[in-house]
Every structure is written in structure tokens, then in C-alpha cells.
Chain A
């Protein structure tokens, strides 16, 4: 769905409204919105069986901070229950804008978590905006007591050089019997089991093609 279509289908004022007073209705709010279609108004609430008084209240609810935010479907990055989450951002990265997370909540449409989150998932925004998020490549030289900022180009050139140097010096192309073993044991890698399958496939290709055998992820632990 394009951002515009999404915007049309889920006008942001509904989010505030159904995020509060009407969460106890049988329909999930996504299902409800789907059923009522785009541009649902207070009068149509009456038509759906809500009382006129409630509809009147709805018409006067003050838009809260989630008004005019972009909604994005995402998945909680912690345990492998993989709860559905909705991230609310100021700005829309898919339109090429700068975007900042203002709120994260459970996705009520998700079959597993049905909108709930645990104490970790409920505090996800703190992870995204933690003061200890890293923003800059850095290098700590041998024996030094500090990190120094370095450019991406310098960091990556250095990494490629260090790796090639070690691979060329220690790569075991063949064993004693002359069999091609293509084995590089002196540099190892731990892959991240919180990354995506697509990241994992990229990482796999590079590590195995280099001949890295000391290659594991958290599943080993």
C-alpha cells in the first residue's frame, strides 16, 4: 500500500479515537476501519450502531500527538514471539523525508499478540532513541584508552586491508593431501540473529565465499 493510500484508509484522527474509548468493541479497529471504508465520519458511527451521544463526543475529540504521524508496520526486535508493532513517526522515510519515531504500540491486527506488548516491547522507543545509540564509525588504536571518530571510507578501507592481509597470510588453500579446502581459520565472525533474513543471506554469502569457518550466530549459544 502506498503511503497516500494508507493515509486515505486510516485517517489519523481515527487512531486517537479508537485507541482510547472504543477499544472494547468486538471489532479490532483495523477491521472496523476496513469495514467502514475510507473517510469514516461521526455520522457513520451512528449508522454502525453507536449512540448519537458517543458520535457527538467523537466529533469533538481533540487530535492527540499521533495526529499527522506516519504509521508503519514493523516487528518487535526482541524475542521470537515476533509481536506485530505499529511505529508512529513524524515524517515519512518512504517519501524520502526525515522521520523520527514518536510512539510505538502493539498491532491489534497481528494474530499472535493482538495488540499487546510486554514491558520490553512497550518501551521500544527508548531503544531507538537510546543515548548510547552509535552514530559514527570509530577506531581504537592498539594500546589506546579511547575511540576516535573515523570516516566510513577510512574504516572500510582499513577493514578490507586488515582482512585481506590476514587471509593472504593464513588462508589454507589445500591440505597436506592436496585437496582444495579453501579454509580461513584465523579470522572469525559472529553474525547477528536479530538481523533480517535478507541481511543474513548477504552476510552468509560474503563469509562463506571468503572461506571463514569460525562463523556462528546466537543459535550456537
Chain B
């Protein structure tokens, strides 16, 4: 989230698309209710199903799943055609005026540079025209035919209300109503917030869904302001934290990148990370990359990380592919190229697509280690549960070690919420039996392996032997010690560069925050964006001052938000080029003639003049990008792409299937179904009574939603002779499930490109262990394809068939 949950109360319009906040984030949704009740805010929901959020909305419009880009580009087109643009914001704070190279273009659903063989674009023409000093050329009048604004205007012109209706199935009048209400937020005194979740990310074109809305929010002037923003409603309690801390194949901490084989040494790695400003006088904050990287390496390897060895650069793994993401790992597993797998609080048998392939992969492992407070289907993937898990136990040669862990009530530490608040919590209970903390378990594995390498030697032990492990009790580091390591400290006296006799931070003391980090090895810091979380003032994540001066919803004294306790990202954009708030009644930051003041921590230097430094300092341009250059694999603008399994063809290019650059493994090519065989458009979703596959272990939640069902329209039920509450079989090219039929009015057939499209909804909370009835999940059916930029599997748009059926073997009817 760019903003906080508590900030939503400041909005005038909430658009929920690609999410279902009332159902999945109920206590955060209270701030929507608050905005409706006290500001007169309106709520719009655009979704294939009439969801629980839709049921409390002011306006609902249906949309066929997977077509959000067409809808949103349609809204952008509407705003441009009707002059509903916040011009001062768009001109000053976006790259609308930047001139693009002549080679760039778009036709037949594809951008220039497409190579069908490689399923990739040559992106070299997707860039600015540079001047002789290396700065991007601009035309502030926006008249140049090759400026971003005119290219965007042309690009979105195809998305007329008629075209939106044809692609999305949204009746034209409903689309126009939504577009009109949204366009009103181009006023500097009206803001809209976007609340989205996995309904946008879990597509092969997920990142472009989000970009389309971000672009809309930018031309309306809604980023960096109170009640505005792009608000990703994240799933697990610390999914934000684990992303921030870089527990991903392609990341290090704080969005530093894992090195690749093309970067053989530290200086080469740093060379592509200079982040020179692309406009004169702009702040390009990533120019500090080297300080953050060196301090991270010092946190990992301490004294073994030296200037001479590139700060231990050779200890870091170097990638030969963009990422060993989960789909790639299960593909490799199926080829017998993975021997061991550790699942810490993770249940891939229900979480990853094409369950048949997932179970086949696990069956080829030599060993599987699970760490969880609860039983999981993954730990028992080898156990036969009739139709619910029909495996040949004796033939599965995988050794499985199941480790019991503590749960939240027995643990201590911090979790980062969707709004980037790091909140500390304390233990309240004794763990059951011999359950142990994940920190203790990881420490035990590390210490045992380090001892074996010391004793026996083995493959490149250096990164392990030299790993910094300086804790009071190496067997069980304390959460506070680890938090301090994440914050970082001075390794030598840090002196003032202007006055070397003045010590800013004495050796051994915590740094105040990341502004004190250095690139000469004199500081260490586990994760730069978190720095400030635990400094000499103490554990800032444990702060509990809930005062909120002037009721802005900022709560600066409550816990700690990254970065630097900032609550709204890009908050400088809440004020105009003179530093005056766009909306005086919703002031966030204001320039007082010498410095920035207001309710938040400014995100540019406090004394940076409003005319000089633009708000988007993490971009080399200093402004936001309506045109994203070559930074995304599938285009500098979003463009309509169908799901890989779609009931209709792409109207812009009937030969094109799915995202043209998404990675497809050879073995999955034959696993895609067509609408002839699988005529119905399926989507997955969750219920407010359950959390993933955990709460089926709880008696209360298992009683509230006891069994697996699928949801379909009265029309489709009548067509197929399906009675409400009867058993049905739903199958795709990859698998088959049986479920109770929930026949509702909440799903209605849609008309897309002249064809009737029926939607089937499939919730995801059941498996074969726990207190609820045994059931299946949508992942038995979904395709094995990821998002083109980040490889998030698509669960939201795929094809199935359905027929009346009988109870699965072992189920109680």
C-alpha cells in the first residue's frame, strides 16, 4: 500500500477491482465504511461476481475475469476524451512530456521488437530520446507527437466504451457510469483510492493490471495524497515483510537484487546500478545503492567482507536465469533435478497450480522437510485419501521430516502489515509438546551444517563458515538482537565528513536510520529500508502512542513504518509546484518557505525546494512513469491480453494466446485447454470465514463454512440440469474435482465478443486434513503459467467444464 489502512477514511471514492476487501480484509474495510459514513464517499466494485464488497457498494459493474486492462484503459481514454485530467499534477509529476524514440510502436496487439521464437521483446526502442548531456528530452507543452502523452492518447483510443463492452462483457451504460464517477476525481479536491489484491496479481499479465490503475491514478492526481494511492491488500500477516527482506529467488534485502552470472565482480554489479538522474537537479535515491549493498554484505559476513574481496561478493549466489521461482522449481522437480525441499509454513500441495504436477514433483524428491504449527497436506502428500489424494503410497520414496513450530501466540517479533507498519508483538502461551520456534530450528540446521563443514570440509564452505552469527545464544538468537541487526550499527566511529573531529555515531552504536549508512565498510545493516526500526532510541516497532493530531489517520507514534516512519509514500505530491496542498482541507505536506512541514515524514529532503525536486525520487526521472521504458517485459504501456485459457479470442490479434512473453514450459504446452472442450470461465476466490488452508483446522471456522462448493449461475445450472446443493464434477485439462453446487444470482452470464460467457467460482479453503469436511481446491484445475515479469501463477482466469455428479469416494453426502 502507498497509504495506510487508517488513511482510507480520507477518500471520496473507493474502487475495489481485483479484490474483495469486505470479505478478505474485513477489519481494514471498516475504513471504507468510515469514509462512506462521514465523508459521503462512494464505493464502486467491478468484479465477475456480485461479491460481499459489491453488496455494500454504491455501484457494481460486472467484468469478465482477466480483462481489467481493457476496462482501465477504457477509463483512461474516457478521462482524456472528456478532459478529466489533473493537468498540473500530470505535467509536473509524470513523464507525460518525455519524448520517446521513433522506433517504438504498437500494432496488432504487440509492441515493436517481438520475437515469436524467443517469446520475448527487443525492448531497445522503448526509451526516451536523450540529449547530449545524457538527460531525457521533454516537451512541457505536450504538443510533440512523440511525447508520452500523445502516444498514450493514441494507445488508449482503441478502448472505446463499445470495445470495453465487447471485451469485458460490461454493459456500456454500466461502464460509462463507472468512468464518469472515477473521472470526477481529476479535481484537485477529490480523491479516489484503489484497493486491489490477488484478483489483479494472479494473471499472466498481473503487473500490467496494476500499472493500468496506477496510470489512471496518476493522471487524476491521486498518488501521494490523503485518501488516494495504490493499495495492494496483501495476504499473509507478514508477506510484506518477507518481500521487503528479500526472501525471494531474485532478491536480496530492501529490494537490492541478487547478482547474475553477467556480473562477475562487485564493480561490474555496481556499474549497472549508477542511477544517474535523467533530468537536471533531480534526486535519484538509488544512487545510494552502494551504501546499502556494502552495509548488507557487512551484516552477512562481518570482518570476512572486505574492500579487497568486493565485500564478500563471491559468497553470493549468481543467477543464470531471471529466478528459480516456484514454477521453475516444480518443473525441475518433475525432471528429477531437485532432491531436497524445505517448506516452512507453506503448503504447496494446495497453493501451487496443477496439483497433479506438484504431487508428482514432491514424489520425485529424496527428502522433504516441513516446518509448521499445523498438519498440512504437503507433509502428508504421500498418504492416500481416496479421491481426495489418490496416490500410491508405497511407490513414493520421498523421506519426509515434519517439524512442529510455534504459532503467533507463542512467538515474539515484528510483522509488517500491508501499510508498511512494523508492529512488535509478545508471546502469551507455552508451545504445545516439543514445538520450537523457526529461529531456533533454522539456527540448529545452520550450526550443525557449519560444524560438519568445519570437521569434514566440502563444497565451498566459506560463505557458511564466515556467516556472521554473533548472538548471546547462538543456538537461539533473540528477536531483539535480530531486529537490531536489521537496523544496523556503526562498525567504526562515524565522523562528520565536514568535520572529522566530530563523531556522529560511535563504533558499536546503532545507526539512527539508513541515511547514516556508508559504502566503506564502516557500517552494517541487514535491510536498509527497515533501518530506524531499532536504533539507540529503542525498539520503535513496539511504540504504542495512538494519538492522531487533527485526525489525519497518520498515527506517527504508533509502531514504525518503513521507510523512515513515513506513512504515505510520495507525500510530496500532495502539494503543488509551490508547495501548497492541492486540497487545503486535506493537507498532508506543505512548504513553509524554508522546509516541508505537515503530518507525515516528507519523502524528499526536508529543505528541497518544491519547484526543484520532484516527488518520485526512487525513479531516475524524479517523476512517475506513464511510459515505463524497457522495465517490464510485456510492454511500456499496458495492452489488452487474454488469459491463456479464454472463452474468446483476443480481438486485437486472434492468433495471440495469453501474454505473448509469458514463460511456458515445454511439458505444459499440451496442458492448456480450449473453449471447445472447456466452455466455462472459472475463477478462484476466498471466503471471510476462512484463511487459506489454516482455518479448516479450527472447529469454529470449519462449522461456519464446512465444505467445498463451486458457485454458478441459475442460467448455467438450468442448462446443465444441476440442482442447488447437488454434487457436481468440475474438470480442466489438468485435473478434476467434485463439489457441492451453489446456484446463485451473484453470478450472471455475460456477453463477450458476441458469445455468452458463463463464469464458475471456486473457493480455495479445503483439503484432506483438518476439522472441516474433506474437499479440493482450485489449484487442482489451474494452469502452470506465471506472470510474465514475476512468475506469479495465474489462478483467476482458466477454463473448465461441469456436469452433475455423485459424492467423491470417502465423502459424507
Residues of A within 8 A of B (CB): 70, 72-84, 87-89, 91, 93-94, 98-101, 104, 106, 109-114, 116-124, 126-128, 130-145, 147, 150, 152, 155-164, 166-168, 170-171, 173, 175, 177, 179-221
- Decide: B442 and A135 in contact? CB cutoff 8 A: no
- Decide: B442 and A202 in contact? CB cutoff 8 A: yes
Residue numbers in B under 8 Å from A74 (CB-CB):
408-409, 425-426, 428
Q: Quick check: is B806 within 8 A (CB to CB) of the other chain?
A: no
Residue numbers in B under 8 Å from A99 (CB-CB):
428-430
Which residues from 304 to 318 on chain B have a C-beta closer than 8 Å to any C-beta of chain A?
314-318
| Distance, CA A156 to CA B97, complexed state (A) | 60
| Distance, CA A181 to CA B258, complexed state (A) | 11
Residue numbers in A under 8 Å from B396 (CB-CB):
142-143
Q: Quick check: is B399 within 8 A (CB to CB) of the other chain?
A: yes
- Decide: B460 and A173 in contact? CB cutoff 8 A: yes
Cβ distance A201 to chain B, nearest Cβ, rounded Å? 5
Number of A-B contacts (CB under 8 A): 489
A-B CB contact pairs (8 Å), 20 listed: A76-B237, A78-B691, A80-B236, A93-B427, A93-B430, A119-B701, A120-B690, A133-B435, A135-B434, A139-B400, A145-B383, A159-B367, A198-B413, A198-B477, A200-B238, A205-B468, A213-B317, A219-B243, A221-B202, A221-B792
- Decide: A139 and B399 in contact? CB cutoff 8 A: yes
- Decide: A82 and B346 in contact? CB cutoff 8 A: no
Residue numbers in A under 8 Å from B409 (CB-CB):
74, 87, 101, 104, 124, 128
- Decide: A171 and B459 in contact? CB cutoff 8 A: yes
| Distance, CA A122 to CA B703, complexed state (A) | 14
Residue numbers in B under 8 Å from A220 (CB-CB):
248-249, 325-326, 790-792
Cβ distance A130 to chain B, nearest Cβ, rounded Å? 4
Q: Quick check: is B564 within 8 A (CB to CB) of the other chain?
A: no
Of B300, B402, B429, most buried by chain A (CB within 10 Å of CB) is B429
Which residues from 284 to 316 on chain B have a C-beta closer than 8 Å to any C-beta of chain A?
300, 314-316
Contact of A135 among B421, B432, B458, B695 (CB under 8 A): B432
Select from chain A the residue with minimum beta-carbon distance to B374: A132
Of A72, A215, A220, most buried by chain B (CB within 10 Å of CB) is A220
| Distance, CA A137 to CA B433, complexed state (A) | 10
Q: A140-B399, A215-B247 are contacts. A201–B428 as well, Cβ < 8 Å?
A: no
| Distance, CA A187 to CA B317, complexed state (A) | 14
- Decide: A187 and B402 in contact? CB cutoff 8 A: no
- Decide: B329 and A214 in contact? CB cutoff 8 A: yes
Residue numbers in B under 8 Å from A215 (CB-CB):
247-249, 324
Of B351, B397, B399, most buried by chain A (CB within 10 Å of CB) is B399
- Decide: A185 and B243 in contact? CB cutoff 8 A: no
| Distance, CA A206 to CA B400, complexed state (A) | 21
Q: A79-B691, A127-B697, A138-B401 are contacts. A182–B467 as well, Cβ < 8 Å?
A: no
- Decide: B404 and A135 in contact? CB cutoff 8 A: yes
- Decide: B413 and A136 in contact? CB cutoff 8 A: no
Select from chain B the residue with minimum beta-carbon distance to A143: B394
Cβ distance B400 to chain A, nearest Cβ, rounded Å? 4
| Distance, CA A168 to CA B460, complexed state (A) | 8
- Decide: A160 and B445 in contact? CB cutoff 8 A: yes
Contact of B373 among A78, A133, A159 (CB under 8 A): A133
| Distance, CA A160 to CA B316, complexed state (A) | 21
Cβ distance A157 to chain B, nearest Cβ, rounded Å? 7
- Decide: A217 and B248 in contact? CB cutoff 8 A: yes
| Distance, CA A219 to CA B421, complexed state (A) | 17
Q: A112-B6, A205-B300 are contacts. A190–B326 as well, Cβ < 8 Å?
A: yes
Stretch of B73-81, B480-488, B499-507, B580-588 lying at the A interface:
B480-488
Residue numbers in B under 8 Å from A193 (CB-CB):
235-239, 241-243, 247, 345
Pairs A-B, 10 closest by C-beta atoms: A135-B433, A192-B345, A196-B413, A134-B404, A82-B417, A126-B698, A187-B340, A72-B428, A160-B448, A123-B700
